[in-house]
Structure 1
């Protein structure tokens, strides 16, 4: 599936989910290593202190919920869908995401290092100070998103695209990029890691915008030639 096909396939409404008719409401707390198959979490406020490491969500929907300081380390999300949900100060380290989508969600101060994201879509989301260090992102789409102070340090980005998104003060130090397509990004502003853009695809216009930072990273000095007088072309007699 191409990145374009993945964007077209993202359901934007709950009713568009292929398993929408099978969803059962879940109103109770989350449990450590709990199994949540075809459940619908709607309007839940899972405040700090909620611990559900190792929880497994299969064909589940999360709408208009608040995860604040929730411990979901090592959780698994397979064919899950989240909309209008806020993740603040959560721990998702080592979590695994497969065929999952976030629509209109907000992620702030989220620790998601050492995670694995495969065929995951973020649509109209805001990611602020999200730690994705050493995370593997394969065929991930950030569509019409704002990525501010996101840390991709030592992460691997394979087939990742950013159509209509703004990348602001992101960190890419020691990241590895393969088939990463930045051409759709509206802005590309890195706090570090310009040298790690090797393997990315960008436009000519983006190259011109990045040129000063790339030159600085490479230690290049860009200067106009010093003025010299015209040589004396007179013929000696």
Structure 2
């Protein structure tokens, strides 16, 4: 059967070289401009993710939630480490906390203005998780765990997911907030709210995963 695969591969290669690709006739209007007009925000990517393909985004958030639950479940029966090494030298601590401050500020900016400029909820959540990770590698794990429990981060993570799903279902039914003025901070209907909820979810979920892995695996 190897010669069959070889002939098929050669034939496919010749087809790509000889047969021209069929041309696609696009309409006169720009797809990007249409999305911007329909969503009321200049960031067309956020418009696609949180409006045109909102159904997919809902399940992306759900999959991320399941991944966090899976990490906790798989490590639940493991024995926590008795000794966790941290970065103790002062230059590393200063640089890590400086980076955490910058990442936190970027996270807030991306969450609030992600519908106006490159960015959005997922990018903001990743920046927030990076800030938490930089603090975690230079701070005692018990202190990080205490803050996580004191502020009920796990509960807020679940609440953000539920509110995101509810607002997404409302949007999918056709009900939307006023789009406002294009380019203004309060514009785009539900999209800014969904961005902020995704950012909270991803950042708090990353915090939970970081705590679990540090507790059972140390600094990887």
Say which structure is richer in strand: 1
Report if TM-score (shorter chain) is over 0.5.
no
- TM-score norm. by structure 2 comes to 0.25
- TM-score norm. by structure 1 comes to 0.24
Say which structure is richer in helix: 2
